[in-house]
Amino acid sequence: MKPQLYDRLIEFCLVFLIVFTPIAYGAVQPWAIAVFEVTAAFMLMLWIVRMLASGRFEMAGNPLVVFFGLFIFYVSMQFFFSRYPINNNAGYAAFGSIYPWATRTDLLKIISYAIIFTVTLNTVKSRRQISRILSVIIAVGFLMSIFFLMRYFGADAPRGIINPDHYSGYLGIIIPLILGFLFVRHQRRDIQDAIYAKQFLLLFCAIVMSAALFFTMSRGGMFSFIAALLF
């Protein structure tokens, strides 16, 4: 198989996660988390097979990769100390995990996040790929906002992310992406009408998502959104 085919499969997995996780109630239930983690493992397998097929090991450098590695190492070390808790004056373990099951499940999530970040960083590189991924993110966020507003005003609509705080944070990430698209300058003069139509559509999406974010009544989500716009 050609490396480009592996890249397509990895991109498909990434798009699947972008669409699946909001629809699956924010991927907070065990079955949804399992699908998320299995997909991340499959992406890692595809990336490794891709490098073996091409005969080259390439890994883009990024400080966050080091951060993920150190954090995963720190959390993993807690399992070695959780059986021998060190009691301090507060009466709980100073380093070892006091809740090994929660530590284990969250560690798997963090590893999955690190895998998706690393694989995406090393396979999604072209402008066209990035544009496709961002377009899917914006489209899914817009649909989730429409469904949320319909439910808010009493209409029947599919459910997405249940927790309003999680949902406001989700929108607070997507709306700045839309604003970034709006400020992208295009050099071609022969497609200005199409560019204006696209920018108008993006602006409409941003307005709808901003309204949905406001109606979540999440103060933390609103504050983080304003902070994202300012900084």
Domain with 5 in it: 1-125
166 and 56 inside one domain: no
89 and 141 inside one domain: no
117 and 162 inside one domain: no
What's the gap between Cα 137 and its chain centre? 9
Instruction: Tell me which DSSP letter residue 29 carries.
Output: S
Instruction: Tell me which DSSP letter residue 95 carries.
Output: S
Show which of 86, 103, 125 is a domain's final residue: 125
87 and 168 inside one domain: no
pLDDT over 60 at 124, yes or no: yes
149 and 210 inside one domain: yes
106 and 140 inside one domain: no
At residue 91, the pLDDT reads 47
136 and 121 inside one domain: no
Average pLDDT for the chain = 86
pLDDT over 80 at 196, yes or no: no
Distant-in-sequence, close-in-space partners of 230: CB < 8 Å, separation ≥ 6: none
pLDDT over 70 at 86, yes or no: no
Show which of 80, 104, 125 is a domain's final residue: 125
96 and 180 inside one domain: no
Note the pLDDT tens digit of each residue in 37-77: 999 999 999 999 998 888 878 787 788 888 999 999 988 88
Show which of 90, 125, 160 is a domain's final residue: 125
189 and 219 inside one domain: yes
Note the pLDDT tens digit of each residue in 147-190: 999 999 989 888 888 889 999 999 999 999 898 888 776 655 55
5 and 118 inside one domain: yes
The pLDDT of 89-115, averaged and rounded, is: 78
What's the gap between Cα 66 and its chain centre? 19
| Number of structural domains found in the chain | 2
pLDDT over 70 at 89, yes or no: no
